[in-house]
Chains A and B, each alone.
Chain A
Amino acid sequence: MSSDVRFTDFKSDKQPTWCPGCGDFGTMNGMMKALAGTGNDPDNTFVVAGIGCSGKIGTYMHSYALHGVHGRALPVGTGVKMARPDIEVMVAGGDGDGYSIGAGHFVHAVRRNVDMSYVVMDNRIYGLTKGQASPTSRSDFETSTTPEGPQQPPVNPLALALASGATFIAQSFASDALRHQEIVEAAIEHDGFGFVNVFSPCVTFNDVDTYDYFRDTLVDLEEAGHDPNDYESAKEVILDADKEYQGVMYQDEQSVPYHEQHGVTEDMSEIPDGAPEDAMDLVREFY
């Protein structure tokens, strides 16, 4: 609508109750800036939030929004976008929300390639329920319910996305504000399902995957000269278990979003005052 939208327009007047220093502050700021930076405004934006510390962003942001059931944010976003191709849809949630209870939906949302962005605030822990192992927790990460560590390999969400036929796969770091914003903007602008896994440290329950850890280890793919349009090198960085990367790993430039593929282009919210004009034809079909 208006070109003078500022990112603060996407801020609600509720003060976040996240722990001071929580990665989600930076993650959310970048999302708001990216939404504003791509020309959206709150009245034309729909944010779907999962359940978790991460899911609270629905409350702290200002837009049309739904804060739903644990793990089901992607289906909600899918429904909004299909009914309203004219609306910018952004889905956000935690690693538990997206890769555990909602993992089934993740695979199929990726496959559908609905034109929306999906930001996972990955802290490698269940924050809201006070520190249990998440699907991205390290195998030896000790928690109240896994005193020896989960003793299972963590899910690689990027690889899961790739295997499911993703057209946009990226990773960012909450504290690298500029890069995070850029990457989320690219996900928004992507014609299809724009998936960003964000390292969003939990300062209270995760003393391993910390700001320092990511600062020390992160490799920026842009600086490394990675070509996101090259599937083979995308596969290489995505499957590389030895390094943490930030940047756009993969983008299919031929991506055809769901609504184009299926001709779902109309605003479904507009309907006539009575039955459609030719509705008696529906009855006559049964002669």
Chain B
Amino acid sequence: MAEDLNWAVGGEAGDGIDSTGKIFAQALARAGRHVFTSKDFASRIRGGYTAYKIRTAVEDVQSVVDRLDILVALTQRTIDENVDELHDGSAIIYDGERSWEADIPDGATAVDVPLKSLAEEAGGAIMRNIVALGAACEITGFDVEYLDEALEKRFGGKGSKIVQNNKAAARAGQEYVQANYDLDLGYDLEVTDEDYVLLNGNEAIGMGALAAGCRFYAGYPITPATSIMEYLTGRIEEYGGHVVQAEDELSAINMALGAARGGARSMTATSGAGVDLMTETFGLVATSETPLVITDVQRSGPSTGMPTKQEQGDLNMALYAGHGEVPRFVVAPTTITECFWKTIKAFNLAEKYNTPVFLVSDLAMSVTEQTFPPEAFDMDDVEIDRGKLVDDDGVDEWLDSQGRFRAHAVTDDGVSPRAKPGTVDGAHMSTGLEHDELGRRTEAQDERVRQVDKRNRKVETAKNTEEWEYRDFGDPDADNLVISWGSNEGALVEALEYLEDDGIDVRVISVPYIFPRPDLTEEIEAAEETIVVECNATGQFADVIEHDTLTRVKRINKYTGVRFKADELAEEITDQLSEEVPA
């Protein structure tokens, strides 16, 4: 198991919890430590409780666990929310001068630090969280200079005075603990020479879009997709692009479609409720053969559900939404780096096959910040494939005997050429109506069949020529097979270590392609037991796998609104392996 430290800061919404947590995460990244973060919102207790949690280790960390070592608690509520995760070696940093009498659970060490007064001495009460970070440095044996670097990044833009005050506040916290406590909880945070970047899944999607040449984004704000729009705003302009906040998702997808008809690489992103509205236009994207990337950052449904909670409940929607039969690709990145690479792949697939591509992520991945070596996003490895985009010269090949552009030409691979406006002799109409090769409406039976077959043939071509590989972890010869999609990968990979410790061999297959998807028949036949893990109640991916392989699988489903944790998954897998296979 990784030598990990689990740290959290919690309080009321408005206490600056997010930025405090992020500063500490950045300090750890500067120290060459890996970081995996998660965010808690009000759950067991009503109100504005929020927490930022960090798991850190020298080795890669990819999951949260049910253990908390250091807790910065700005409210009693923070302690109550996390009481199950505290243990004998835990330390709780709190401010005894505040109006509450901290109720510290048995065994945990109370570290009472006058956060507010120390902050005031350093220049302002607003810095009390920074005092707490200084205290946390002392308890964990972490050099406060790394915190300085993070403070410079965070406050550098506000002038050197502010930076100096914050550094002083951090030192005040550190020195207070040094002077008043003689703690030996055994935490001694090792540092390395590595230097990591820290980002979340939505930032990775946004960055992937920019790398892929996306120049137009239209969206309507919705948690947890909005941060993609926020990331692109202010950055996409540097490349000549633009972000529009549309009046609704009906408009957003149609604007994105329009930009794509103009020849731009274009994207929209939303979450389930927005996908419902956008569904209206899916068929048009497909029949007009428009390259478009549609991102769904899933959250808990149905309806408004639990809007700030994790779920993977939109798989069926991504696969099937839209009336009639809508050819599409569905790609679901499994990690934050994959959010970047699969976004680029999505843009290439869209333009190579003139087809909608659904990029399906989820809330957990969108808010988790994780460290990576910058090479994980090596821009030199970015490839752009614009498919059969023709220019003035290329048009000729696709004109009919009367000089008309065959925008929906029936081809062997099913892929027709694409001419953008301004291309001489390329003028043509595309439509949601069934049409002939020229895009003109038709209801002739043979034309209809030719176009439907052609569109489906594109998907066949893609199936046969693109890579739809899965990601393979653990023992490839293990009798036990666990299959997952989307963001559960990290927790599963770490669960393997727990299982190994218990002498249980497991192979994990993590599937980033939902359609087309890898055929897992052989893998499932080779295993004695197969379990499909996903964050929904009904097992939508498990259904798909059973359908593909004609084999019953076991299921682990979580729909509490909280992502899987590594230790919890190891336990669940162990339990399931001893159960009967469902009939």
- Among A192-237, those with CB < 8 Å from B are none
B286 sits at the interface (CB 8 A): no
The residues of A that contact B433 with a CB separation of less than 8 Å are 67
The residues of A that contact B197 with a CB separation of less than 8 Å are 283-284, 286-287
- Among A74-100, those with CB < 8 Å from B are 74-84, 86-87
Kindly specify which of B171-179, B249-257, B477-485, B532-540 makes contact with the partner chain: B249-257
The answer to whether A64 touches B242 (Cβ under 8 A) is no
The residues of A that contact B211 with a CB separation of less than 8 Å are 275-276, 279, 282
**Docked CA distance A267–B259 (Å):** 10
- Among B425-450, those with CB < 8 Å from A are 425-433, 440-441
The residues of B that contact A269 with a CB separation of less than 8 Å are 215, 262-264, 420
The answer to whether B377 touches A283 (Cβ under 8 A) is yes
The answer to whether B215 touches A83 (Cβ under 8 A) is yes
The distance from the CB of A73 to the nearest CB of chain B, in whole angstroms, is: 8
B338 sits at the interface (CB 8 A): no
The answer to whether A83 touches B422 (Cβ under 8 A) is no
The distance from the CB of B149 to the nearest CB of chain A, in whole angstroms, is: 9
Which single member of A13, A62, A68 contacts B254 (CB below 8 Å)? A68
A20 sits at the interface (CB 8 A): no
B384 sits at the interface (CB 8 A): yes
Interface size on A, as a range, is: 35 or more
The distance from the CB of A75 to the nearest CB of chain B, in whole angstroms, is: 4
The answer to whether B246 touches A75 (Cβ under 8 A) is yes
Which single member of A62, A68, A84, A262 contacts B262 (CB below 8 Å)? A84
**Docked CA distance A108–B402 (Å):** 41
The residues of A that contact B423 with a CB separation of less than 8 Å are 43
B552 sits at the interface (CB 8 A): no
Residue in A closest to B402 when the chains form the complex, CB atoms? A13
Which single member of B246, B259, B441 contacts A268 (CB below 8 Å)? B259
The answer to whether A82 touches B421 (Cβ under 8 A) is no
Convert B555-579 into 0s and 1s, putting 1 for each residue whose CB lies closer than 8 angstroms to a CB of A.
Answer: 0000000000000000000000000
- Count the A-B residue pairs with Cβ separation under 8 angstroms: how many? 220
The answer to whether A83 touches B235 (Cβ under 8 A) is no
Residue in B closest to A271 when the chains form the complex, CB atoms? B213
Residue in B closest to A107 when the chains form the complex, CB atoms? B247
- Among A239-283, those with CB < 8 Å from B are 262-264, 266-269, 271-276, 279-280, 282-283
The answer to whether B195 touches A287 (Cβ under 8 A) is yes
**Docked CA distance A205–B199 (Å):** 60
The answer to whether A66 touches B258 (Cβ under 8 A) is yes
The answer to whether B379 touches A279 (Cβ under 8 A) is yes
A167 sits at the interface (CB 8 A): no
The answer to whether A262 touches B284 (Cβ under 8 A) is no
B188 sits at the interface (CB 8 A): no
The distance from the CB of A12 to the nearest CB of chain B, in whole angstroms, is: 7
The distance from the CB of B64 to the nearest CB of chain A, in whole angstroms, is: 21
**Docked CA distance A66–B431 (Å):** 6
B138 sits at the interface (CB 8 A): no
Convert B210-238 into 0s and 1s, putting 1 for each residue whose CB lies closer than 8 angstroms to a CB of A.
Answer: 11110110100000000000000001010
Convert B8-44 into 0s and 1s, putting 1 for each residue whose CB lies closer than 8 angstroms to a CB of A.
Answer: 0000000000000000000001100000000000000
The answer to whether B431 touches A67 (Cβ under 8 A) is yes
Which single member of B213, B244, B420, B426 contacts A78 (CB below 8 Å)? B244
B183 sits at the interface (CB 8 A): no
The residues of A that contact B215 with a CB separation of less than 8 Å are 83, 268-269, 271
Residue in A closest to B425 when the chains form the complex, CB atoms? A43
B63 sits at the interface (CB 8 A): no
Determine which residue in A64, A71, A105 has the highest number of CB atoms from chain B within 10 A of its CB, and name it. A64
The answer to whether B258 touches A271 (Cβ under 8 A) is no
The answer to whether B258 touches A12 (Cβ under 8 A) is no
The residues of A that contact B242 with a CB separation of less than 8 Å are 82, 262, 264, 268
Residue in A closest to B212 when the chains form the complex, CB atoms? A275
The answer to whether A59 touches B440 (Cβ under 8 A) is yes
The residues of B that contact A262 with a CB separation of less than 8 Å are 242
A146 sits at the interface (CB 8 A): no
The answer to whether A82 touches B428 (Cβ under 8 A) is no
Q: When A64-B421, A66-B429, A279-B211 are in contact, do A83 and B259 touch as well, CB less than 8 Å? A: yes
The answer to whether B259 touches A79 (Cβ under 8 A) is yes
Which single member of B198, B203, B262, B288 contacts A87 (CB below 8 Å)? B262
The answer to whether A66 touches B262 (Cβ under 8 A) is no
B503 sits at the interface (CB 8 A): no
The residues of A that contact B284 with a CB separation of less than 8 Å are 68-69
The distance from the CB of A53 to the nearest CB of chain B, in whole angstroms, is: 13
The answer to whether A67 touches B262 (Cβ under 8 A) is no
Determine which residue in B195, B235, B262 has the highest number of CB atoms from chain A within 10 A of its CB, and name it. B262
The answer to whether A44 touches B421 (Cβ under 8 A) is yes
The residues of B that contact A153 with a CB separation of less than 8 Å are none
A42 sits at the interface (CB 8 A): yes
The distance from the CB of A65 to the nearest CB of chain B, in whole angstroms, is: 4
Which single member of B216, B384, B429 contacts A65 (CB below 8 Å)? B429
Q: When A43-B422, A43-B425, A282-B235 are in contact, do A275 and B382 touch as well, CB less than 8 Å? A: yes
Residue in A closest to B255 when the chains form the complex, CB atoms? A79
Q: When A68-B432, A272-B384 are in contact, do A42 and B427 touch as well, CB less than 8 Å? A: yes
B82 sits at the interface (CB 8 A): no
**Docked CA distance A47–B421 (Å):** 11
Convert A116-152 into 0s and 1s, putting 1 for each residue whose CB lies closer than 8 angstroms to a CB of B.
Answer: 0000000000000000000000000000000000000
B281 sits at the interface (CB 8 A): yes
Q: When A58-B431, A72-B281, A282-B211 are in contact, do A82 and B244 touch as well, CB less than 8 Å? A: yes
Convert B248-285 into 0s and 1s, putting 1 for each residue whose CB lies closer than 8 angstroms to a CB of A.
Answer: 10111011111111111110000000000000110010
The answer to whether A87 touches B421 (Cβ under 8 A) is yes
A104 sits at the interface (CB 8 A): yes
The residues of A that contact B428 with a CB separation of less than 8 Å are 64-65
The answer to whether B384 touches A108 (Cβ under 8 A) is no
A63 sits at the interface (CB 8 A): yes
The distance from the CB of B250 to the nearest CB of chain A, in whole angstroms, is: 6
The residues of B that contact A58 with a CB separation of less than 8 Å are 429, 431
The answer to whether A272 touches B429 (Cβ under 8 A) is no
Which single member of B266, B280, B379 contacts A280 (CB below 8 Å)? B379
The answer to whether A79 touches B426 (Cβ under 8 A) is no
The residues of A that contact B257 with a CB separation of less than 8 Å are 66, 68, 76, 79
B380 sits at the interface (CB 8 A): yes
The answer to whether B261 touches A79 (Cβ under 8 A) is yes
Residue in A closest to B213 when the chains form the complex, CB atoms? A271
The distance from the CB of A47 to the nearest CB of chain B, in whole angstroms, is: 8
B interface with A by C-beta (< 8 Å) = 29-30, 153, 195-199, 203, 207, 210-213, 215-216, 218, 235, 237, 239-242, 244, 246-248, 250-252, 254-266, 280-281, 284, 288, 374, 377, 379-380, 382-384, 402, 420-433, 440-441
A43-B426, A79-B254 given. 9 additional CB < 8 A pairs?
A: A44-B422, A63-B429, A65-B430, A69-B280, A80-B421, A83-B263, A86-B422, A104-B248, A287-B374
The 3 closest A-B pairs by CB, nearest first: A79-B258, A269-B263, A83-B262
19 contacts between A and B (CB under 8 A): A43-B421, A43-B425, A62-B427, A64-B427, A66-B261, A68-B431, A74-B251, A77-B258, A79-B266, A82-B244, A83-B260, A105-B251, A267-B240, A274-B384, A275-B380, A279-B379, A280-B374, A283-B197, A283-B379
